[in-house]
Amino acid sequence: MERNEKLAYQDENLEIEFRVKDLLSRLTLEEKLSLLSGKKLFWTKSIKRLGIPSLKMTDGPHGIGGFAVRFAGKMSYFPVATCRTATWNTHLSEQFGVALAKEAKSIGRSIVLAPGINIQRTPLCGRNFEYQTEDPFLNKILAVKVVKGIQSQGIAACAKHYAANNQEFNRFKVNSKISERALREIYLPAFEATVKEANVWSVMACYNRINEEYGCENHDLLVDKLVKEWDFRGFVMSDWFATRFTNTVKCIKAGLSLEMPGNVKMIPKNQAFCYHPKKLKRALDMGFLEERHIDNNLMRLLRVMFLVGFLEERNIDFEKYRNAPEHQILARKIAQEGMVLLKNECDLLPLNINEIKKISILGPNAKKKMASGGGSSSVNALYEITPYKGLKLKCKGKIKIISSVEKSDVSVICVGLNHKKFNDYENKDRLYLELPLEQEQLIKETVKKNPNAIVILISGSPVAMDNWINEVPAVIQAWYAGMEGGMALADIIFGDVSPSGKLPITFPRKLSDSPAHASLLSYPGIKDWNKLKEGDLSIKKDEFRIKYAYDDVLYEEGIFVGYRHFDINNIEPLFCFGHGLSYTTFEYSNLSISREVINQKDAFSISLDLCNTGNRRGAEVVQLYVQDVESSVQRPIKELKGFQKIMLEPSEYKKITFELHPADLSFYDENSKSWKVEPGEFKILLGSSSRDIRLTEAIKVSD
Ligand code: BGC
């Protein structure tokens, strides 16, 4: 071979599969074993002899950051996942993915540990803000877009945390006991779609157990479903330290390619990590594993290494990508479209900038920066415009900001949660649904002094409002809206933008209304019923949970998660799934379905007219739900199967068309282990929220 001639695996012109095999054939067993676990928290190991560099990763779900890039400087801070999902704008999710990937690239990272696509099962889950929604359809549509966006830039996405990682309390041990039907219909669709529709290059196995088996060694999830059924071609990595209780041989055989973070100082000496080369070697020597098992897992990792071009020269251009002006614009747009106008009595909003003279802005979240904190999704933001700052910039030279509530024309009260323990915070769940007492008091006192009050809720999950909402004319759910959040909020308050966000989760009135809180067995998992005293049931204290916590959590509600639960049990939510007010109004008309009788094979289309009947430009999210009228099994009253976000000028109208497939009418049949569409009557429901259905039409499915 000539001195400069490339080896096959180094040759970019050759097929990736060929390069993978070539590289694999050159690795010694020792080198292979070393590649199966990471180093330095966010890197894989390098192999100098073959010129293989470390593959580097970074969090996370709303901006490049977390512990991975603590020293890499400041990055863009985007609205959190729940806010992005509340836009119901697929295009924005794709653009967000592109932006994440570009920023990752700018600091030499090849894998972005996002999106987080666990279902929001309980409002108490500390990581809800990192997740998208309670609904599997909305979840999958947006997850696919984020993954496509990220991977379009040659950066790997990582769908996490596979699967049913729905609470932070006891997260390293909890055993999510779920029926196959609930897994298929609720918890897995987004993961399945990121594999089948977006060809996601990596998946992160969760901390928890699912039906007894830990995520990292769960054969059913990792082999039978992910690889065999969905044809996953990427690799699986563990969540960080998720292998602490797992078995080496089982993990290898389940197809866990990479243990993260591997041998870092944080691991206690006597607790050798799962893929320690010595452990792997012993398992091989004793015949529990064969080299082909190792090769199988490693090939997947190598494939992704080639896909992200790990041998190619990287053009690291900080100025171009990181915090680029277009990312700031995107962050503002997502925030504008993701904030949800929950209540607006007597059209208090929007405020007229030419009429208002004095405004007061108060509350613990008015000036609080939210980018850093909360756990691994924390972002070291270049800047963050708080609600106070955003309003101040907007009011400049026009409206006076004063501290007296009584003397102001209107007051803006910024309350909610934050990223401290027991709020929106990784590794801990919230303890209750209500706002802290002092915040409720602040709201009440403020409204007493001046009824023109707007409550701004900054949180990643719902809060209870019954104690104060009737006294307040206007409420905006502003989430954690990223570095431009304050600007977007001011845009909405002063009507530069008509709100178009819709809730991607149901807001319950009280915790016990919520599906996971029917009993303590279903959350947080309770050990000994006999020891429980009546007063304990309110679960006010974390110590109480620790005392009684049991690892098993029974997903007793089955498929009735989110609005499915509220609908079937006839519970009035505080704000329903899909709810969100606008400054304009929309009329739905002329529903027509391409056929009355649907067969089991062919797609059919549904069309309607949407008209902006108000006097402002605005966007509406048209939501399509289906209802199975006659069924052999219990099914939800309605299930989201389509949505479109449409921007209309005043008096403008548009014809909107949806295409549905018979599969959209199906349920997962546990007996036949397959999806089933039963003949009979179905209803197509179109509306502005899950409880504001404007048009309905029946169809029949033939045998
Ligand atoms: C989290 C993951 C994250 C990882 C790396 C874990 O604690 O669960 O979501 O990607 O840390 O920071």
Architecture of the CATH domain 586-701: Sandwich (2.60)
- Residue 375 CA: nearest ligand 1 atom is 7
The superfamily in CATH containing domain 321-493 is Glycoside hydrolase family 3 C-terminal domain (3.40.50.1700)
Query: Is there an atom of ligand 1 within 6 Å of 240 CB?
Result: yes
**What pLDDT does residue 266 have?**
66
Of the candidates 490, 351, 365, the one whose C-alpha atom is nearest the C-alpha of residue 416 is 365
CA of 690 to the centre of ligand 1 (A): 33
Residue-range domain boundaries for the chain: 321-493, 511-568, 586-701
**Secondary structure (H, E, C), 598-644:** ECCCCCEEEEEEEEECCCCCEEEEEEEEEEECCCCCCCCCCEEEEEE
Cβ atoms of 181 and 169 closer than 8 Å: no
Query: Is there an atom of ligand 1 within 6 Å of 484 CB?
Result: no
CA-proximal residue: ligand 1, atom 4 (nearest): 240
CA-proximal residue: ligand 1, atom 7 (nearest): 240
Query: Is there an atom of ligand 1 within 6 Å of 66 CB?
Result: yes
CA-proximal residue: ligand 1, atom 6 (nearest): 240
pTM confidence score: 0.96
Cα four-point dihedral sign 224, 229, 231, 236? negative
Q: What is the pLDDT of residues 572-617, one digit of tens each?
A: 999 999 999 999 999 999 999 999 899 988 999 999 999 999 999 9
DSSP E strands: which ranges in 417-547? Answer: 453-458, 474-477
The neighbour count for residue 406, using CB atoms within 10 Å, is 11
**What pLDDT does residue 515 have?**
96
Query: Is there an atom of ligand 1 within 6 Å of 113 CB?
Result: yes
**What pLDDT does residue 540 have?**
47
Query: Is there an atom of ligand 1 within 6 Å of 67 CB?
Result: yes
CA-proximal residue: ligand 1, atom 12 (nearest): 376
CA-proximal residue: ligand 1, atom 3 (nearest): 376
- Report the alpha-carbon distance of residue 586 to residue 595 in Å, rounded: 26
**What pLDDT does residue 68 have?**
61
CA of 240 to the centre of ligand 1 (A): 6
CA-proximal residue: ligand 1, atom 8 (nearest): 239
CA of 375 to the centre of ligand 1 (A): 8
**What pLDDT does residue 71 have?**
65
Decide if 239 is catalytic. yes
For residue 100, give Cα distances in angstroms to 94, 166, 480, 543, 627: 10, 24, 17, 39, 37
Q: What is the pLDDT of residues 513-567, one digit of tens each?
A: 999 998 888 998 865 545 555 555 454 445 555 555 568 899 999 999 999 999 9
In the chain, the percentage of residues whose pLDDT exceeds 70 is 93
CA of 113 to the centre of ligand 1 (A): 8
Q: What's the average pLDDT block by block, 10 residues per block, for the chain (703 residues)? A: 77 96 98 95 95 94 79 88 98 98 92 98 98 98 98 97 95 93 98 98 97 97 98 97 93 98 70 86 97 98 96 70 92 98 97 97 98 92 97 97 98 98 94 96 98 98 98 98 98 98 98 92 71 51 55 94 98 98 98 92 96 98 97 97 98 98 97 96 98 97 91
Cβ atoms of 85 and 133 closer than 8 Å: yes
Out of 240, 260, 426, 427, mutate this one to test ligand 1's pocket (max ligand atoms within 8 Å of CB): namely 240
Do the two domains 321-493 and 586-701 of this chain adopt the same fold?
A: no
What the block records as the tokens of 427 is 């590794």
CA of 319 to the centre of ligand 1 (A): 27
CA of 161 to the centre of ligand 1 (A): 9
The active-site residue, picked from 22, 59, 220, 239, is 239
- Residue 66 CA: nearest ligand 1 atom is 12
For residue 163, give Cα distances in angstroms to 59, 166, 183, 374: 18, 8, 9, 21
